[in-house]
């Protein structure tokens, strides 16, 4: 394996030691606390964190799920601006996006998740915004707008949350309109790389029973990659968004909330990459670039240079309407969530990622999504001491996918293949229109679910839930046109035109949860749980999903196309957790140990000309997590978290091939962690000095599913320092990645350049000033 050496600023073992020692240190300080300080220190209790992991508001420390919850204040301080910043919330979560947000945005929790690129894939980590499932995690790449809370639910959530949560779920909730209140919030950020982001939110009452809340955002930033010949940058960020909410509460028993949102970005994204591992064709590509009087890209990855012969362009639009209603009926509450969403990506790309003119692609992707959920929830008592909460419901969704792709061979392709292929091989790679492809799919989901949780008595609690799901998926592909020349290079190589197909797959499964809790007292709770996770199979929506040219019966009558379908995956997850509060509730430390046994895990990978979807027969993950928080005094507070994954492994499986069989998951470091020290010190009656120091660490990891390339461990230091006014505004200077650590997020096989690998890179050091406040 090739290793990229990056010296960490903070080792994984030191983060783990810090988190593990957190509670004992606090306990020692408690013993030494002078009696005369007890009264004042008793006021330093941590804020009570409310979560909705069980579909009702509960205290974090009383919820028998490994969940992390943060509010809008934390997200502003930690600069959690979109789903790409999710690791700042929990080190157990990783996110990677490469060329196309509709096909290659990957979320993982505890190393588990759908990795690789595929038009067909919905993630194994479900993303829910205001209770609505997002079928593509890339839709959440748009900047968060007026988000009041973010929760990370770790482990399968196979009972209550939509679908495709075999690894976990991420819940985002918009700030709710407030009745009878006029006001708002604002923020303005100016930073390096020409970054300017502004947001504004206004809340206004409409009579006594209604309120309107409108939010807008504009976010722009130059790209991190630069063409050394033109000075042009790539992978910029340029987006705008709008959200409007109407809340109507005519009575105490009925509430309705309408949310409409729109986000748009128009960027030269996302094909700025570095040439990480030059292959045998790289010298030919470099010579072509020099003959045009240009300079090839640097071989130093940390210089962030990229030479493209065509400037990429990507337009993304995300539009949605959500209607939420709650009625108090009988002993419980009836809730409805209705959603209609459309997600579109229009992308023109230099698909060979190089300064040679080899392949130009224009691709459109559109998803139309409808969902409806009804649920009924309530509470009842039983026996002498027991009480229980229940929820039961039905969920339905329907998504249609339409994708089209047009490809053109470039003027340099003949020369490059002439240097690659045997001289005796006769082929044609002349420039011009290559193909016009149409790819479509449909996904219809139906589920019934119910969960019951509560207390048997003062000490013992329980959870039991069950969900039945049915997923019907259909996918089809055809070439409307493929160049007729029988010597076309892809025909000679047996790649395309590939067989057309129109296939469907239906999966039904039960998933659910079973758990028990023991409450030692009000400050300590032990829980054990079993969760069954399910993610449906489907049809691989790729041009080569049914094989190559020689499997195409339109050209070879006896040919038998392959099967483009893939099987569902299942997870049996076992967890033992301990939630504690100490030092008069000024501190908390939560621990979890988990074991996941998976069958038919879905794995996607790109192999240069084809996006494959494979099922790994078996896979295994186990590890430990610690999350802790402490109010040290009335000025300083401390947070620490660590995730230890000694095992995140695919089983031995010859069908996966030598690269994947028996190897560790991609982007699943053994150690990851973070520690933050927060300052809030009054300096006058009107102003306070505020600041935050955050150190993140990630151990080394395999970067992709297609080869064995690795990124070594690294640390990131993030800093904030500013002034907060009693009048409601805060002015902060900040720096992210203070020591400018540059690391690989994903390696991939460079298109049409056998043996060559390009790499997507992390963000470099960024810094700036933010003004935020309320009025």
What are 551-597's pLDDT values in tens digits? 999 999 999 999 999 999 999 999 999 999 999 999 999 999 999 99
Q: What percent helix, strand, coil does the chain show, rounded to 5?
A: 10, 55, 35
**pLDDT at 372 (0 to 100):** 97
In a domain, 741, yes or no: yes
Question: Is residue 20 assigned to a domain?
Answer: yes
Predicted confidence at residue 158, as pLDDT, reads: 84
Over its C-alpha atoms, the chain yields an Rg (Å, rounded) of 27
Task: Compute the distance between CA of residue 670 and CA of residue 363 in angstroms, rounded to an integer.
Answer: 37
Per the prediction, the chain carries an average pLDDT of 90
Q: What is the mean pLDDT of residues 442-446?
A: 96
pLDDT given at position 39: 39
Structural domain of residue 17, as residue ranges? 12-174+223-235+270-313+322-327+335-774
Give, rounded to a whole angstrom, the gap between the first and last alpha carbons of the chain: 56
In a domain, 630, yes or no: yes
- Helices 413-420 & 282-291 angle (0-180, nearest 10): 150
**pLDDT score at 24:** 42
3-state secondary structure of 507: strand
Other beta carbons less than 10 A from residue 204's beta carbon: 15
**Residues near 287 by beta carbon (within 8 Å), at least 6 away in sequence:** none
- Asked if residue 101 lies in contact with residue 136, where contact means CB atoms within 8 angstroms, the answer is yes
Instruction: Give me the pLDDT at residue 140, please.
Output: 61
Q: Is residue 549 part of a domain?
A: yes
Q: 767 lies in a domain? A: yes
The SS3 call for residue 313 is strand
**What percent of the chain is modeled with pLDDT above 90?**
77
Which tokens is 365 given? Answer: 């992707």
Q: What is the pLDDT of residue 17?
A: 44
Could you tell me how many helices (H) and strands (E) the chain has, helices first? 6, 40
Of the pLDDT bands very low, low, confident and very high (cuts 50, 70, 90), residue 53 is confident
pLDDT at 40 over 60: no
Render pLDDT for 103-155 as a digit per residue (tens, 0 to 9): 667 889 999 987 766 776 678 888 999 999 988 766 666 789 999 999 999 99
Over 70: is that where the pLDDT of 10 sits? Answer: no
pLDDT value at position 608? 62
The model's confidence at residue 384, banded by pLDDT at 50, 70 and 90, is confident
Residues 6+ apart with CB under 8 A from 37: none
- 234 has which bridge partners? 225
Whether the upstream peptide bond of residue 358 has omega within 30° of 0, thus cis, is no
Q: Output the DSSP codes for 56-96.
A: S-EEGGG-SS-EEEEEHHHHHHTT--SGGGGGGT-TTEEEE
Tell me what pLDDT residue 58 has: 87
Q: What's residue 23's pLDDT?
A: 43
Question: Ramachandran region of residue 167, left (φ > 0), alpha (ψ -120 to 50) or beta?
Answer: alpha
CB distance 761 to 273 below 8 Å: yes
Question: Domain for residue 555, yes or no?
Answer: yes
> Is the per-residue pLDDT at 604 higher than 80?
yes
Query: Among positive and negative, which fits the CA dihedral 160, 164, 170, 174?
Result: negative
Cα gap 338→577, rounded to integer Å: 35
Give the chain's length.
775
Give a three-class secondary structure readout of 316-332: EEEEEEEEEEEEEECCE
Residues 6+ positions from 690 with CB-CB distance below 8 Å? 678, 679, 680, 681, 720, 721, 722, 723, 724, 730, 732
pLDDT higher than 90, residue 606: no
Give per-residue pLDDT as tens, 222-279.
Answer: 999 999 999 999 999 899 999 999 999 999 999 999 999 999 999 998 888 998 888 8
Does the pLDDT of residue 38 top 70, yes or no? no
Number of domains in the chain: 1
Tokens of 313: 């362009």
Asked if residue 202 belongs to a domain, the reply is no
| Residue 609 pLDDT greater than 80, yes or no | no
Q: Which of 24-38, 52-66, 85-99, 520-534 has the highest mean pLDDT?
A: 520-534
| Alpha carbons 390 and 489: distance in angstroms, whole number | 62
Query: What Å distances lie between residue 343 and 129, 309, 329, CA to CA?
Result: 14, 29, 36
Q: Is the pLDDT of residue 530 over 60?
A: yes
CA distance 498 to 437: 10
Q: Are strands 313-329 and 274-277 parallel, antiparallel or unpaired?
A: unpaired
Please report, rounded to a whole number, the percentage of residues in the chain having pLDDT higher than 70. 92
pLDDT above 90: residue 617:
yes
Helix (H) or strand (E) holding 439: strand 432-455
pLDDT at 15 over 80: no
Q: Is 685 exposed, middle or buried (0-12, 13-18, 19+ CB in 10 A)?
A: exposed
pTM here is: 0.91
Q: Kindly indicate the confidence band of residue 54, based on its pLDDT and cuts at 50, 70 and 90.
A: confident
Q: Sign of the CA dihedral 176, 177, 180, 182?
A: positive
- The three-state secondary structure class of 1 is coil
How many beta carbons lie within 10 A of that of residue 695, not counting itself?
22
Phi, psi of 74 (to 5 degrees): -60, -45
Return d(Cα 272, Cα 424) in angstroms, integer. 36
Place of tokens 């049809």: 539
Q: Is residue 183 part of a domain?
A: no
Task: Give the H/E segment covering residue 285.
Answer: helix 282-291
Query: Rounded to whole angstroms, what are the CA distances from 66 to 63, 156, 577?
Result: 8, 10, 8
- Residue 217 predicted with pLDDT over 60: yes
> Of 495 and 95, which is predicted with more confidence?
495
CATH number at residue 399: 2.40.170.20
In angstroms, the CA 318 to CA 342 distance is 6
């Amino acid at each position: 394996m090739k290793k990229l050496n990056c010296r960490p600023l903070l080792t994984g073992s030191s983060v783990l030691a810090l988190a593990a020692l957190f509670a004992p240190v606090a306990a020692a300080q408690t013993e030494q606390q002078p009696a005369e300080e007890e009264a004042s220190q008793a006021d330093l209790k941590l804020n009570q964190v409310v979560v909705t992991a069980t579909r009702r508001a509960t205290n974090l420390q009383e919820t028998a799920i490994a969940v992390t919850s943060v509010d809008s204040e934390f997200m502003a301080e930690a600069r959690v601006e979109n789903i790409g910043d999710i690791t700042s919330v929990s080190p157990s979560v990783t996110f990677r996006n490469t060329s196309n947000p509709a096909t290659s945005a990957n979320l993982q929790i505890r190393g588990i998740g759908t990795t690789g690129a595929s038009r067909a894939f919905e993630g194994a980590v479900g993303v829910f915004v205001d209770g609505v499932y997002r079928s593509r995690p890339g839709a959440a790449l748009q900047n968060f707008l007026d988000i009041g809370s973010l929760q990370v639910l770790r482990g399968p959530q196979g009972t209550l949350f939509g679908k495709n949560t075999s690894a976990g779920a991420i819940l985002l909730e918009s700030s709710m309109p407030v009745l009878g209140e006029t006001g708002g919030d604002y923020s303005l950020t100016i930073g390096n790389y020409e970054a300017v982001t502004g947001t504004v939110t206004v809340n206004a009452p409409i009579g006594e029973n209604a309120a309107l809340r409108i939010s807008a955002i504009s976010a722009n930033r130059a790209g991190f990659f630069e063409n050394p010949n033109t000075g042009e940058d790539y992978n910029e960020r340029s987006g705008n968004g709008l959200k409007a909410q109407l809340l109507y509460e005519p009575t105490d028993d009925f509430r309705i909330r309408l949310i409409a949102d729109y986000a748009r970005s128009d960027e030269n994204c996302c094909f700025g990459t570095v040439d990480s591992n030059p292959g045998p064709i790289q010298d030919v590509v470099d010579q072509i670039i020099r003959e045009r009087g240009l300079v090839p890209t640097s071989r130093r990855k940390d210089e962030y240079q990229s030479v493209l012969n065509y400037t990429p362009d990507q337009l993304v639009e995300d539009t949605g309407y959500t209607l939420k209603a709650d009625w108090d009926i009988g002993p419980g509450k009836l809730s409805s969530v209705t959603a209609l969403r459309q997600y579109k990506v229009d992308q023109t790309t230099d698909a060979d990622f190089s300064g040679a003119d080899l392949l130009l692609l224009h691709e459109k992707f559109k998803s139309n999504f409808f969902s409806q959920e009804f649920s009924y929830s309530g509470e009842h008592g039983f026996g002498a001491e027991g009480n229980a909460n229940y929820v039961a419901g039905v969920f339905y969704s329907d998504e249609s996918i339409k994708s089209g792709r047009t490809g053109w061979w470039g003027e340099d392709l003949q020369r490059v293949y002439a240097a690659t292929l045997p001289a005796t091989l006769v082929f044609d790679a002349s420039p011009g229109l290559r193909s016009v492809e149409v790819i479509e799919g449909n996904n219809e989901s139906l589920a019934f679910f119910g969960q019951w949780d509560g207390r048997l008595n003062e000490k013992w609690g329980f959870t039991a839930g069950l969900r039945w799901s049915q997923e019907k998926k259909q996918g089809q592909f055809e070439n409307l046109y493929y160049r007729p020349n029988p010597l076309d290079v892809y025909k000679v190589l047996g790649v395309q035109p590939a067989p057309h197909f129109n296939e469907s797959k239906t999966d039904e499964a039960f998933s659910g949860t079973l758990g028990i809790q023991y409450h030692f007292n009000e400050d300590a709770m032990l829980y054990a749980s079993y969760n069954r996770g399910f993610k449906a199979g489907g049809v691989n929506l790729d041009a080569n999903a049914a094989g190559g040219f020689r499997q195409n019966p339109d050209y070879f009558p006896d040919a038998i196309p392959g099967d483009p379908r893939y099987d569902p995956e299942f997870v049996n997850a076992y967890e033992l957790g301990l939630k504690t509060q100490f030092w008069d509730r000024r501190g908390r430390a939560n621990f979890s140990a988990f074991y996941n046994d998976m069958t038919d895990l879905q794995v996607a990978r790109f192999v240069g000309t084809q996006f494959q979807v494979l099922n790994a027969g078996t896979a295994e993950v186990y590890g430990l997590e610690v999350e802790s928080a402490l109010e040290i005094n009335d000025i300083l507070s401390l947070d620490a978290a660590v995730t230890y994954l000694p095992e995140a492994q695919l089983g031995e499986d010859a069908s996966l091939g030598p690269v994947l069989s028996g190897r560790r998951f991609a982007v699943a470091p053994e150690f990851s962690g973070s520690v933050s020290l927060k300052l809030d010190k009054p300096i006058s009656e009107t102003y306070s000095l505020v600041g935050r120091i955050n150190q993140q660490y990630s151990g080394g990891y395999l970067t992709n599913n297609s080869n064995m390339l690795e990124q070594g461990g690294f640390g990131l230091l993030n800093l904030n320092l500013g002034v907060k006014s009693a009048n409601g505004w805060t002015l902060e200077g900040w720096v992210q990645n203070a020591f400018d650590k540059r690391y690989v997020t994903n390696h991939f096989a460079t298109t049409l350049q056998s043996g060559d690998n390009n790499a997507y890179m992390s963000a470099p050091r960024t810094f700036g000033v933010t003004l935020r406040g309320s009025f």
